[in-house]
Amino acid sequence: MIASRDNFLKYLQFEKRLSSHTVLAYSTDLNYLYDYLSSAYQVKALDEVNHLLIRSWIVQMMEEKISTRTINRKISTLKTFYKYLLRQGIVTENPMLKIQSPKTSKRLPVFVEKEKMDLLLDNIEFGSDEEGLRNQLIIEMFYATGMRLSELINLKQLNIDLHDSRLKVLGKRNKERIIPFSHELGRKITAYLEVRGDKNNEYLFVTAKGEKMYEKLVYKIVRQYLSVVTTIDKKSPHVLRHTFATHMLNNGADLNSIKELLGHANLSATQVYTHNTVEKLKNIHKQAHPRA
């Protein structure tokens, strides 16, 4: 089982060219199943695994109060794994055909209200030193472009065209896309680079030591500044991505344009933001209509 898992992960990394973050998620899910089957049923080989054992694993996760969304992600991992095993001739039957995913309730994307983003970007003091300019630019870059955390960290200086106000990012499945930005954001990029100086690093954002930025530090920066203006539970880079999409939609952008800017593979992933708009309209109707 372990050898098949390792070969599958190599297939995802080198043939499917999935990100290291995604491959790690697959690895974690498979290890979780392997540990369960080994301890609960002493199962060591793939041909010993059937749909009943997998169902018992799902029940175990439910009893552990693991979220339905997380359980469904692990089921999705197993479905992909068994498709690979069938193609390789490692197994002859797919136990996942008898597995149904638990139903999940739709969660609306969490976002920061426009007034609070305005307060953060227009009235909160970040500082005029290198760290302050960098931190403010990180917040503005997320909000102005809707890019992912991995895309921001891996953004290189050579992929920023200050003359045409556009940048190129490498998204999921190594898919490139072009994102426009405002002249104001361009000026802030220039100001940061001037203060940053030449620290012999090709990436836009660097640490105080001139090294490439890392996820934990970006999370800390975003959480620190969002905490000043909002009390929402989630204060992450992805919340700023949601905020970008929601504010774009509320101000008249069409879904297809938002889809392209976000780098979504299909429109259904973008349509979730329409629910926020509908909820806003419901609240307006409830407050304004005399018989609401």
* Calpha distance 33→99 (Å, rounded): 15
User: Is 148 tagged catalytic?
Assistant: yes
Under 8 Å between Cβ of 227 and 235: yes
Q: How far is CA 42 from CA 34, 57, 81, 225, in A?
A: 10, 13, 21, 49
Given the residues 5, 188, 235, 241, select the one marked as catalytic: 241
User: Is 275 tagged catalytic?
Assistant: no
- Percent of the chain as helix, strand, coil, to the nearest 5: 65, 5, 30
Given the residues 26, 143, 225, 273, select the one marked as catalytic: 273
Under 8 Å between Cβ of 258 and 248: yes
Given the residues 5, 74, 134, 148, select the one marked as catalytic: 148
User: Is 219 tagged catalytic?
Assistant: no
Write the single-letter amino acid at 88.
Q
Helical pair 183-196 and 130-145, crossing angle rounded to 10 deg:
150
User: Is 273 tagged catalytic?
Assistant: yes
* Calpha distance 221→225 (Å, rounded): 6
Given the residues 51, 79, 156, 172, select the one marked as catalytic: 172
Tell me the catalytic residues: 148, 172, 238, 241, 264, 273
